[in-house]
Amino acid sequence: MFKVIYKITYPNGKIYIGKDLVDTLNYYGSANSKLIEKDFPREHRKDFTIRKEILFEAENISDQEINKIEVDFIRQYQSNKPLIGYNQWPKYKNP
């Protein structure tokens, strides 16, 4: 069974990085819905397309290792920076 790190891109260009420990095709993460909804008025929700990209996949990897890789990708893409993405952890720190 593959474990994957994925990137979700929303219509406004903001991203969310997440992991799926069982590689479910229809899983789109656990981003905060209320946070995302603030960026999309009602009329924008009528035709809404998101993109899911697999950034990393591995079959024989521990949960601890995949967790570390997820955080590395969050930091690399800065998806925890509010202007860039919807990840809320780890907290973004201005350099």
> For the chain, which residues make up each domain, given as ranges?
3-77
Please return the burial class of 7, using the count of CB atoms within 10 Å of its CB with bins 0-12, 13-18 and 19+.
buried
- The 10s digit of each residue's pLDDT in 8-65 is 999 999 999 999 999 998 888 899 999 999 999 999 989 999 999 999 999 999 999 9
Planar angle of CA 88, 64, 67, nearest 5 degrees: 25
pTM: 0.93
Planar angle of CA 47, 35, 41, nearest 5 degrees: 35
DSSP state of 48: -
User: Given this model, what pLDDT does residue 14 score?
Assistant: 98
